[in-house]
Amino acid sequence: MAEGLSTGEVVKEIKEHAEHASERRAMLSIVEAVILSAVAIIAAWSGFSAAKWGTESSLELAKAATTRAQANRAFQESLTLRVGDSTTFNAWFGAYVSGDRRAAAVAERRFRPEYRVAFEAWMATHPFTNPNAPPGPAYMPQYKPTGEAESAELDRTADEHYAAGQHAARTADDYIRATVILASVLFLVGISSHFPIRGVRIGLVCVGLVLLVVAAGEILSLPRPP
């Protein structure tokens, strides 16, 4: 009996091999299509999230700047009131130590209601006989010029807005980094079909798949868009 394959069997083997190769190529093309589809969807979401967080950062930083300006205005108001209170107190003090009770009474009537509270608390410490008394009403805990507490509160709010803006900017950068990784996946999988060598094509697809998993994991770890 003749050894080896007949011509018909050889043709059959070649045909079956070609069919298997065609099926493998088709399967690889399907995998590439699935990866590209996933990348397109995830990249669109990542780009949208980066844009939203970028807008959020701009809004928070703008709020921080506006609130800081309000804090500065409130602080300037408190400084103006401090100067006015010091002026009226100096007038009272000069009249009091010179013995001009009438002038002292007139100066005292010009005290602001908020300053009068601190003045009366200071007088209760007997400042002219008590060496441990505070130097003046402005050193009393009751002295709280209008705008001072508001300025401190606005400064704290501005710091919070600034921190939120910085956090939003960093989050936007993280989403952009993930989008860049996804763009690399698109490039690798896109060029893989141009290589006739199946091993090279599979290698590029595998690298792209790994990068896709890395990018997806990073996106899942980030906060959702505001």
Percent of the chain with pLDDT over 70: 88
Structure tokens at 209: 């798949």
Rg of the chain in Å (alpha carbons):
39
**Residue 9, in any domain of the structure:** no
Please spell the DSSP secondary structure of 20-63, one letter per residue.
HHHHHHHHHHHHHHHHHHHHHHHHHHHHHHHHHHHHHHHHHHHH
Average pLDDT over residues 92-100: 91
User: Reduced to 3 states, what is the DSSP secondary structure of residue 94?
Assistant: helix
Structural domain range at position 153: 34-221
Residue-wise pLDDT for 191-201, tens only, equals 877 777 778 88
**Residue 90, in any domain of the structure:** yes
Residue with tokens 């705008």: 147
Per-residue confidence (pLDDT) for residue 146, from 0 to 100 = 83
Confidence grade of residue 25 (pLDDT, cut at 50, 70, 90): low
**Residue 226, in any domain of the structure:** no
| Rounded distance between C-alpha atoms, residue 61 and residue 11, angstroms | 74
Q: Which residues of 156-165 are buried (b: 16+ CB within 10 A; e: fewer)?
A: ebbeebbebb
State the total domains in the chain.
1
Structure tokens at 159: 């710091």
Average pLDDT over residues 146-165: 93
Angle at the Cα of 25 (from 23 to 29), degrees rounded to 5? 115
User: Reduced to 3 states, what is the DSSP secondary structure of residue 5?
Assistant: coil
| Rounded distance between C-alpha atoms, residue 46 and residue 54, angstroms | 12
Per-residue confidence (pLDDT) for residue 21, from 0 to 100 = 46
**Residue 39, in any domain of the structure:** yes
**Residue 180, in any domain of the structure:** yes
**Residue 12, in any domain of the structure:** no
What is the four-CA torsion angle of 144, 147, 150, 151, rounded to 10 degrees?
-110
**Residue 27, in any domain of the structure:** no
Q: Which residues of 181-202 are buried (b: 16+ CB within 10 A; e: fewer)?
A: bbeebbebbeebeeeeeeeebe
Residue-wise pLDDT for 107-122, tens only, equals 899 999 989 999 999 9
| Rounded distance between C-alpha atoms, residue 193 and residue 208, angstroms | 13
**Residue 103, in any domain of the structure:** yes
Weakest mean pLDDT among 17-31, 50-64, 88-102? 17-31
